[in-house]
Chains A and B, each alone.
Chain A
Amino acid sequence: MPSIYLEPRTERSAFAPFLVSGLAVFLTMVAGSGLFLLYGKSPIAGFHAIFIEPLLSNYGIGEVLLKLGPLLLIAQGLAIGFRARVWNIGAEGQLIIGAILASVVAIQFDGSTSSLLLPAMVLAGALGGMGWAGIAAWLRTRYNANEILVTFMLSSIALQVLYYLVTGPLRDPQGFNFPQSITFSAAATFPLLIENTRVNASLLIALVVSFIAWVFMQRSLMGYKLVVGGLAPHAARYAGFGEKRAIWLALLIGGAAAGVAGVGEVAGPLGMLQRTISPGYGFTAIIVAFLGGLHPIGIVFSSALMALIYVGGDFARLSVGLPSAVTDIFQGLLLTFYLASSLLLTHRLRRRSSENRIVAEIAE
């Protein structure tokens, strides 16, 4: 009986990443069909609700774009770090701190109509995210503390900081002790892009950042050095770009992006600081980054897909009666299948037989 074994690829096909993502989506659909049947729903109705229905109305499209913004922004930032092998898994915390600092600005200058207010909030948010991620960078470069663990712990701490502030110092004094801040004034919120939807101008920031990320990673010497600095610290040191700089840069970029995403939420659909700012964007963005092959263009697609699943999952609750757990399960499945499929990026399956040249190339 011929057995199958793995052989490392010597060269990569340009199409392989797309095929791998496609395979993951396909497998998720197959598993998802089983899930729908388990809930006694028709898979066709389920998929229609999740993947088609949101795109049938202005509002639905708006909602997808609203979700896409933060996912895209955070994932672009994280992917840069991931490619340099710096594992920032605390974007959720960086998002929260960014949102808090922006809110402090908004609350401090409540009533101001200055057009500088919003840019100041974005700046504060970026600095907040950078500061929070910077702690991890400092502890890693100065004390060698593992950034996976530190960024993750900082996320949990950030959540408690938020809880503290909304039940205390930043709480609306006229808000009957409810744990939330004042409602931000118009000058402290992003203008809407499409009427009667909730898509706001923060989406443009995400798109611009995507373009910059593409230029930075694909076209700039610094981006190249960053990746090398992470991949091969010794070689990089020769090139005058140390591991430490790579770590600082990777974490600060990721933190800034996440912080600005936080501003997009409090100065966007929420219009205030409250206990729930993000339904886990910081963690979902990690999935998005991987699903996009850590490539700036791939991430645009993967964040759109993930945003669609989020919104479609909500639509399916009303139109098909699927439980909210479906969204989580779909996201988990998608990443699981992507991780499994992506083995084909670096390896090919070969069949061990009398003629060793017969190759089962699935990814090509």
Chain B
Amino acid sequence: MTFISKTIKLAAAAVVASTMLTGASTAEDKLKIGFIYPSPVGDVGWAYQLDEGRKKIEAMFGDKVESVVVENVPEGPDAARIMNQMASTGADMIMIGSFGYMNDGLKLAAQKKDINFIHASGYKTAPNFGNFQTRNYESAYVAGMAAGYVTKSKTLGVVAAYAIPEVVGIINAFTLGAQQTNADVTVKVVWLNSWFNPSKAQESAKSLIAQSADVIFSLYQDTPSVVQVAEEEGVYVVNTSSDMKKYAPTKLLASMTIDWGPHFTTQVQAALDGKFEGTAYWGGMADGAVGLASMSDDLSADQKSTIEGVMAEIAAGTRHPFDGPVMAQDGSEKIASGSAIEDGALLGIDWLVTGVETQLPK
């Protein structure tokens, strides 16, 4: 230990002691849960859905829990500070809502063994650090079916952020679903190379429309910008995270929704019971974590019931969007007939299926 740190320790010791005393006196039986979101909660989108999950916790556990929210925390050197401050102000559980918080969260979890962490969309776990994701490829598959029904140009356009496996898997499932209802569709993708850029997302949608796409898939765009432009241009649109019907009242084909409620409430219950374990949760249609909302009335009753039938099969586990045979872009068989993709392979998927015209960015 160095001279500086000693001096500071001495100087701070007194104040620290005093805050610890006051901290102890205010501690109650409530489970205090901190929530950190990467973007403002707003009306729709990723942070909004996480916050809906938080509301479900409050609705279910009432005054047994107390939640604290800090929104719009950029992934970067400052996120750790907010987490740490939550930890030091008595949080018993912390939900960190973005991939980029993973390493800082893990470091903190290692220091504070009595705090339980749940982390959105990561891949690492620890005894007191679990992660959660949803099988959005399941809802993408059925959304793709809907897209296949309505497309006339047989061209679908996807506005996507980065080619991370989750996004690649969703694009593949969307394409496979569309091929179920319309054998010779092609899918074009624009890679934004940015998590947040509403203007560019909108420009991308327009460029896809100009390339004759008549269904646009707004994949992980946190703002309704793509949905809005689709309504304006008169093409169908599918989107992720939230129900965006109000932004495209006539042209929304369907919204792929996420419900964190079931997982959040189970985790909180586990924490209350002292049985929390850091697990990797991957929720799908089976447990109601993903679904399809606001299906367009332009789909016939038959088409809707076909889609709903497939959803029921996926939920029941009798059907998998990646049921073989599945061919990659280069024509090689990736999944043999009669088998489906393994979860592990899906978590690291780095190839696109045949039918997707755009290449993965190098």
Residues of A in contact with B (beta carbons under 8 Å apart)? 55-59, 61, 63, 66, 163, 167-168, 176-180, 183, 193-196, 198-199, 265, 269-272, 274, 276-279, 310-311, 314-315, 317-319, 323-324
B275 within 8 A of A: no
Name the residue on A nearest B163 (C-beta). A177
- B15 and A56: CB pair below 8 A? yes
B74–A279 contact, CB under 8 A? yes
User: Taking the nearest CB of chain B, how far is it from the CB of A176, in angstroms?
Assistant: 5
Which of A178, A183, A265 meets B77, CB within 8 Å? A265
Chain B nearest Cβ from A320, distance in angstroms: 11
Interface centre among B5, B19, B103, B193 (most CB of A within 10 A): B5
The interface stretch among B80-88, B283-291, B292-300 is B80-88
Q: Which residue among A277, A317, A318 has the maximum number of chain B CB atoms within 10 Å of its CB?
A: A318
Instruction: Report the separation of the CA atoms of residues A194 and B111 in the bound assembly, to the nearest whole angstrom.
Output: 14
**Known: A176-B123, A274-B100. Contact between A61 and B80, CB under 8 A?**
no
B180 to chain A, nearest CB (A): 27
A-B contact pairs, 18 of them (CB 8 A): A56-B12, A57-B88, A58-B16, A59-B84, A61-B8, A177-B168, A178-B99, A180-B100, A194-B4, A194-B8, A199-B5, A277-B77, A279-B78, A311-B81, A314-B81, A317-B70, A318-B82, A319-B89
B270 in the interface (beta carbon within 8 A): no
Establish whether residues A57 and B164, one from each chain, have CB atoms under 8 Å apart when the complex forms.
Answer: no
Please give, as numbers and ranges, the residues of chain A lying within 8 Å of B19 by CB-CB distance: 56-57
Which range holds the interface residue count of chain B?
Answer: 35 or more
B100 touches A315 (CB 8 A): no
B165 lies within 8 A of chain A by Cβ? yes
8 Å CB contacts to A: which residues of B64-79?
Answer: 68, 70, 72-78
Complex A-B, nearest 5 residue pairs according to Cβ-Cβ distance, in ascending order: A276-B76, A194-B5, A269-B77, A177-B164, A56-B15
The residues of A that contact B247 with a CB separation of less than 8 Å are: none
List B residues at the A interface (Cβ < 8 Å).
Answer: 1-2, 4-5, 8-9, 12, 15-16, 19, 68, 70, 72-78, 80-82, 84-86, 88-89, 99-100, 103, 111, 123, 162-165, 168, 193, 347-348, 350, 361-362
Complex contact B5–A274 (CB within 8 A): no
User: A294 CA to B76 CA in the complex, in Å?
Assistant: 29
Q: Which residues of A contact B1 (CB under 8 A)?
A: 195
Q: Given contacts A56-B16, A167-B361, A193-B4, is CB(A318)–CB(B85) below 8 Å?
A: yes
* Shortest Cβ gap from A177 to chain B (Å): 5
* CB-contact partner of B80 in A196, A198, A272, A276, under 8 A: A198
Contacts of B82 in A (CB 8 A): 314, 317-318
Shortest CB-to-CB span from B136 to chain A, Å, is 15
Q: Are B15 and A194 in contact (CB under 8 A)?
A: no
- Could you tell me the distance in whole angstroms from the C-beta of A55 to the nearest C-beta in chain B? 8
Q: A63-B81, A265-B77 are in contact. List 14 more A-B contacts (CB 8 A).
A: A55-B15, A58-B12, A58-B16, A163-B193, A168-B362, A176-B347, A177-B163, A178-B99, A194-B4, A194-B5, A195-B5, A269-B77, A276-B76, A319-B89
Could you say which of A199, A277, A278, A324 has the most chain B C-beta atoms within 10 Å of its C-beta?
Answer: A324
**Chain A residues with Cβ under 8 A from B15's Cβ?**
55-57
B58 CB → nearest A CB, Å: 17
